[in-house]
Chains A and B, each alone.
Chain A
Amino acid sequence: MAKNISFTLKYWKQNGPKDAGHFDMREMKDIPDDTSFLEMLDILNEELVAEGKEPFVFDHDCREGICGMCSLYINGTPHGKTATGATTCQLYMRRFNDGDVITVEPWRSAAFPVIKDCMVDRSAFDKIQAAGGYITVRTGAPQDANAILIPKQDADEAMDCATCIGCGACVAACKNGSAMLFVSSKVSQFALLPQGRPEAAKRAKAMVAKMDELGFGNCTNTRACEAVCPKNETVANIARLNREFIKAKLHD
């Protein structure tokens, strides 16, 4: 049976990328612990709007852990301390206690400027993807899907890499603001499949170059990204990207 909890919510307000920003505080009373974290924020916004105040802005959409839109830094951890493999939207209030102080912040990274409050601009990820995160193939009549056999193990591994939802938690957790886990997951997916091999070298170079250009930091193998990834992407992908990248550079 659900019980209610009361706690202090400390949430980040920032009016655009140039504003200094500050925390607002609010006592949240009798919140049922079977509400999700985002539903708790809906309650906050209902209260704020009822008082004629501006609502708290944050990104969210599917609320079932797959679209990658939600992006809150909760008590010092991207997506909060959810079960393994879960996003902010899958965090429930039963993971908190009566009397807690809950701190909510945006992803903080130079490459993700704040638009408002906890809504940030992650279009840099789209730009990296556009630089080479695809297999060039025309719509039309490719050969039969079973014409190229792919060992199950390779297909499964490619699938694990492709599971990345592009939320940016890896960047937010990294002390260098590196996007290596994101980039390496995409590069790995295609590198593991025969269809992706012809452009593998070009892809690795182009995506890494774009990542550097957009102001993401370098990887120093701290593995903070892996620890917070809601889809359990591993730094083995980063090792693979490095191999692909070095191979490509040696050919130059």
Chain B
Amino acid sequence: MGKHGSLLAIFVLCVLLSVPVLTIFSSIFDSSDGVWQHLVDTLLWSYIVQSLQLMLGVGVLVLLLGVAPAWLVTMTRFPGSRWLEWALVLPLAMPAYIIAYTYTGMLDVAGPVQGFIRDTFDLRFGDYWFPQIRSTGGAITMLSLVLYPYIYLLSRMAFLEQSVCVLEVSRTLGANPWQAFSRVAVPLARPAIMAGLALVLMETLADYGTVQYFGISSFTAGIFRTWFGMGSATAAAQLSAVLMLFILVLVIAEQWSRNRARYHHTSTRYSQLPQLKLTGWKMAGALVYCLVPVLFGFIIPFLQLAWWAWDTRALVDFSAFSQLIINSLRLAFTAALIALILGMFISYAKRLQPGMPMRTATRILGLGYAVPGTVIAVGVLIPFAWFDNSLDAWMRAQFGISTGLLMSGTLIAVVFAYIVRFLPVAMNTMDAGLGKIKPSMDDAGRSMGLGPFQILRRIHIPMLKGSLLTAALLVFVDVLKELPATLILRPFNFNTLAIRTYELANQERLTEAAASALMIVLAGIIPVIIISLSISASRPGHDKRT
């Protein structure tokens, strides 16, 4: 198979993986019996406003929580900075709906914190002011606390990969460290930060668990209300299609605003980073700034979960529980591996052939991340069931054999849905990495007679090790946390940690749900720490340190 054959194969693969997204889009042409009129008359506008508020709030907060700490732990030294380097990633292991349950349990009117205030000061409800956790502000905080690590990871990777020369030049031109950060390092890291922000905003839009629990009428909440409450699956799919169009516009606008700027490394000179040792109030400020996200995004909710789990330990059935752990890990591992391989080929094909068809195909594919998991699951269910039933009908007609449902209701369908949903995470990470490798490296490879696959294997993969590992582990952690697609598509008698957690929490048994929630977090911590460490090690020229 020549270069064109491989590219064609990858293109076909992209199209195949886009089937669920396209299935949802195709609903636009169906009629939905006046549901739209009703939505326009009542809630559509508030869905849009709520979702925009969420996006804006989360967008600003994750940038505040993610970019500066990444810069501080990369470029400076202060007590605890080594530890914070990887600890800042930990909230990634915490599913948004679980952090929402946990903080609600603590901070709600009937929770221990407000109870303590009432008992201590002998107050009744209404006598004192306390922030309302179940509010738009609360949802923004919860989502930001678990999503900022995307920004942190990608911007840290970018800062690490920046050549020190650029910063040195900026210093010789009279810039102080703050200017070096704000006027050189951040603008250079823009593709990475934007890739992270895109992931965060898509995940914010797709979130259902948190908004539903907080009673917020976001666009996604509206999709489900329309589907379940009014029984209109068509209108719900149409709303999802609108959501995807909106994302598409954002993505294109961002790329267009970058115009023709490219962000390759311009120098091959890497020396060890000159880490500035902070002292005095600067040291204290840096420490507090970096500690806040870890404390609220991980340590506090983790301790609360551990406390609840300990309280309800008598109710845990350990043999059933270990099966849940195995199931969760097996799915996460399989999906991560497949996403790694597919993501690498697709990102690379896009680099080789940046033409219109490939760009369009990958862009459509990328939308999967913004769609609520339940909707993706239906997008997977439709083509799979169609294929199975058509095959069955054909086999019956030809050979009198019934093949039944071959793939629907198997783990293949579940993993397929994961890939559709999470491949964009892998691709975004790899694109950001690949974008920094100068095309002249490819040219050099070609001039030495290497084919595209050899260039990939001998030049790009070694240079991208960090990005590849990060991509795979991000998918791994995402799958561990994934709930809705697993719930709908899974085979009989098959459960995961996320499902167990959700089922108990759904019955309003938060303390009993804590044990499985804690396991999801614990299983996610190890890959998260590996991601962190591998990024430190992925710095070009890292080996020369010794």
User: Do A and B originate from a single complex?
Assistant: no
Residues of B within 8 A of A (CB): none
